[in-house]
Structure 1
Amino acid sequence: MDFFQFPSISKAIPEFYSNRSDMLQFDLEHGRYAVGDLCVVERLEGVRTINAGPADANWRAVFNSSVLKSGFNECCVVMGAPKSKLLEFKTKFNVPFVVKGKDVKGENKEITIKDIRIIPEATGHSLAFQSALQEEVLVVSIGFGTIEAGAANDQGIISSTLVSFDLGTQVVAQDVMSQILTNGAVVPVGKGRLHYFDDVVRDVHDGKKRDFPLRSSQGILKSDTVHEMVFNALETYAETIQVTLRAYLNKYRDRKFKLILTGGGMLYLPVRKKLEELATNDNYSLIEISEESRVKSAAVGYRIVGEKLFPEDNLIALDLGNHTTIGFYKEAQIKLN
């Protein structure tokens, strides 16, 4: 099965602007656009929807790119969504449907999506790690929009454990945005502010200096002050989700599962320390995972589901992340009589 990975438009708009000639074009409602042109025409710069779905132009562009790159004429797709968004996603697709585009040589491309299944994100993570470890696992994934959690054993997903909390790292971005704007700073974005401030949080956490001009030429909001705001917000967030996840995990203490913590939120040291502290104090068996596993796990789980649902079809297992798009292509196996 072929694996692919590329930055989601929502994260890498500058790169898409400068590399339009290397990108596929996409057939939207009002015409075809290369990705770079799509950023211009749709005015996508700085605009990233929380838990984006099929109604979002960014999302459609990345989805179309992913399926067109497969080279299949027709296929089935398995992908994930927050548990709280499943119904909303499922109602946006009427199968079969056709995705059209052109490659950089100007050749027409077209793929028919025969069927598409949307499953909880935690299902993907849990099945992937259970398959790898061959033990019962409970996975907590801290994303931008939500925190998704769920467990799996050798019988499959334990559906009663699947849950979605509206406590993704957007909470930190909101806190930092509020503090910076309250202090009179001028920021260069209108729409998509939360994602702009999400990038501010990441930059400051990773050691970059960020300062902001103040309104009416009153000077600047200094980087030291911004640094303090960001880390205070991260500490508060870490304490909040520690309480929420302690209550959730306590329901399943008797199951003796292996605990796995993943998602973009685990990149933040205050978050990681608080949740590792929770695992230690409450005697959970915490499994360390590699960065590669953290990135690929959801798509691996979607592949496991897809191979069972569509054993005789071309398959695309797709994880459209906020920062990275991950997927697997599997060509249908020809059966001999």
Structure 2
Amino acid sequence: MDFFQFPSISKAIPEFYNNRADMLQFDLEHGRYAIGDLCVVERLEGVRTINAGPADANWRAVFNASVLNSGFNDCCVIMGAPKSKLQEFKTQFNVPFVVKGKNSKGENKEITIKDMRVVPEATGHSLAFQSAIQEEVLVVSIGFGTIEAGAANDQGIISSTLVSFDLGTQVVAQDVMSQILTNGAVVPVGKGRLHYFDDVVRDVHDGKKRDFPLRSSQGILKAEVVHEMVFNALDNYAETIQVTLRAYLNKYRDRKFKLILTGGGMLYLPVRRKLEELAANDNYSLIEISEESRVKSAAVGYRIIGEKLFPEENLIALDLGNHTTIGFYKEAQIKLN
């Protein structure tokens, strides 16, 4: 298995995982920026950004924060969305429009979005890795809401390969939630319950003990029982998506793509092992990538698209994620006569 990592773009990115208490983190070094755990810290009424959308006020809060810190008076924006949600995203924007508010320094800003494009999330991942590796790649991104996949070669995106499966890791959270509530546990959350259980899954997977009081006020749902529930759910999920992805990948066996697996779902060992087993058994050339590369590959790809679409405009290439929102600012080059 080969290994690939993008050159580090921001010293702030690794700090997201160590400074979860910070609402926003910015690093404007070299014109690049990153936004930290606004979604996680504020809970945003239980809605995580990538699964909300532009009709949701919480989504717009993160989007506006990204734009207001650009320093531009006007710009164009390129960003991604799950393929299944593209039309929903596109109908919510009428360009040009103005974003007003305060930046992270408390300064009032008013920025005109001259044009905006929303592309399938998989195009960002695929173009980023193809550009870096200079080979045909097929990228599968396992997110919370969906699994996005697509391929690219030196001619660009291979549109026929773009797919979206409603099989994100929320399936695991739903399974664990159902089991815990069926056992009579008391859960201290109303809105955003599914995201709460997503955190339970991640905590237990990472070795933390989680137990719950029972409604009967007698005893608790013990941590070892919760542990078994979580790992059974992860094993079942890994089996399910292995079957789905094997059927998808089999369509392209003759293309000899380099296969890249990314997204938050790859942080779970049962998922990673099952998909690496698929790649090995079916003789796919799998390229391992770093955690930082998983975090930022979509934004890298959106920048590639944006530079072609808007070569003479200020550009924001933006990837709104559940735990980190990452993007790039690119200032328009002044042309001399």
- Band of TM-score, shorter chain: 0.7 to 0.9
Residue 190 of structure 1 deviates from its aligned partner by: 1.1
In 2, are the aligned partners of 1:122 and 1:298 still within 8 Å (CA)? yes
Separation of aligned partners in 2, 1:242 and 1:4: 23
In 1, are the aligned partners of 2:11 and 2:27 still within 8 Å (CA)? no
CA separation of 1:3/1:20 partners in 2, compared to 1, >3 Å: closer, same or farther?
farther
CA displacement, residues 117-169 of structure 1 (integer Å, 9 cap, x when unaligned): 00000000000000000000000000000000000000000000000000000
CA displacement, residues 28-68 of structure 1 (integer Å, 9 cap, x when unaligned): 99999999999999983434366210112221111000011
Separation of aligned partners in 2, 1:61 and 1:90: 18
Residue 107 of structure 1 deviates from its aligned partner by: 3.0
In 1, are the aligned partners of 2:39 and 2:322 still within 8 Å (CA)? no
Identity of aligned residues (%): 93
In 1, are the aligned partners of 2:127 and 2:304 still within 8 Å (CA)? yes
Residue 191 of structure 1 deviates from its aligned partner by: 1.4
In 1, are the aligned partners of 2:14 and 2:292 still within 8 Å (CA)? no
CA separation of 1:174/1:295 partners in 2, compared to 1, >3 Å: closer, same or farther?
same
In 2, are the aligned partners of 1:7 and 1:324 still within 8 Å (CA)? no
- Structure 1 runs of 4+ off > 6 angstroms? 1-43
Cα RMSD of the aligned pairs, angstroms, is 6.3
In 2, are the aligned partners of 1:76 and 1:113 still within 8 Å (CA)? yes
| 1:130-145 equivalent positions in 2, closer than 5 A | 130-145=130-145
Separation of aligned partners in 2, 1:288 and 1:252: 20
Residue 4 of structure 1 deviates from its aligned partner by: 21
Separation of aligned partners in 1, 2:124 and 2:31: 34
Separation of aligned partners in 2, 1:282 and 1:264: 23
In 2, are the aligned partners of 1:141 and 1:262 still within 8 Å (CA)? yes
Separation of aligned partners in 2, 1:218 and 1:239: 36
Of 216-225 and 248-257, deviating more is: 216-225
What residue ranges of structure 1 are gaps of 5+ in the alignment? Answer: none
CA separation of 1:97/1:26 partners in 2, compared to 1, >3 Å: closer, same or farther?
farther
Give TM-score, length-normalised by structure 1.
0.88
Separation of aligned partners in 2, 1:4 and 1:22: 30
**Equivalent residue number for residue 176 of structure 1:** 176
CA separation of 1:307/1:289 partners in 2, compared to 1, >3 Å: closer, same or farther?
same
Question: 3-state SS of the aligned residue for 1:45?
Answer: helix
Question: 3-state SS of the aligned residue for 1:332?
Answer: coil
CA separation of 1:42/1:206 partners in 2, compared to 1, >3 Å: closer, same or farther?
closer
Of 1-10 and 232-241, deviating more is: 1-10
Give TM-score, length-normalised by structure 2.
0.88
Separation of aligned partners in 2, 1:26 and 1:57: 22
Of 291-300 and 178-187, deviating more is: 291-300
CA separation of 1:106/1:228 partners in 2, compared to 1, >3 Å: closer, same or farther?
closer
Separation of aligned partners in 1, 2:8 and 2:65: 10
CA separation of 1:9/1:168 partners in 2, compared to 1, >3 Å: closer, same or farther?
farther
Separation of aligned partners in 1, 2:329 and 2:233: 40
CA separation of 1:237/1:9 partners in 2, compared to 1, >3 Å: closer, same or farther?
farther
CA separation of 1:8/1:236 partners in 2, compared to 1, >3 Å: closer, same or farther?
farther
Separation of aligned partners in 2, 1:152 and 1:313: 25
Residue 108 of structure 1 deviates from its aligned partner by: 1.4
CA displacement, residues 78-135 of structure 1 (integer Å, 9 cap, x when unaligned): 0000001000100000001111112466531111111110000000000000000000
Separation of aligned partners in 2, 1:20 and 1:266: 21
In 2, are the aligned partners of 1:3 and 1:327 still within 8 Å (CA)? no
Residue 313 of structure 1 deviates from its aligned partner by: 0.2
In 2, are the aligned partners of 1:78 and 1:116 still within 8 Å (CA)? yes
Separation of aligned partners in 1, 2:85 and 2:28: 23
CA displacement, residues 235-257 of structure 1 (integer Å, 9 cap, x when unaligned): 00000000000000000000010
CA displacement, residues 274-323 of structure 1 (integer Å, 9 cap, x when unaligned): 00000000000000111121111000000000000000000000000111
CA separation of 1:265/1:7 partners in 2, compared to 1, >3 Å: closer, same or farther?
farther
CA separation of 1:327/1:6 partners in 2, compared to 1, >3 Å: closer, same or farther?
farther
Of 317-326 and 51-60, deviating more is: 51-60
In 2, are the aligned partners of 1:27 and 1:100 still within 8 Å (CA)? no
**Equivalent residue number for residue 264 of structure 2:** 264
Separation of aligned partners in 1, 2:162 and 2:296: 20
Question: 3-state SS of the aligned residue for 2:227?
Answer: helix
Question: 3-state SS of the aligned residue for 1:117?
Answer: strand
CA separation of 1:119/1:106 partners in 2, compared to 1, >3 Å: closer, same or farther?
closer
Q: How many residues align?
A: 337
CA separation of 1:326/1:13 partners in 2, compared to 1, >3 Å: closer, same or farther?
closer
Separation of aligned partners in 2, 1:287 and 1:37: 29
In 2, are the aligned partners of 1:24 and 1:35 still within 8 Å (CA)? yes
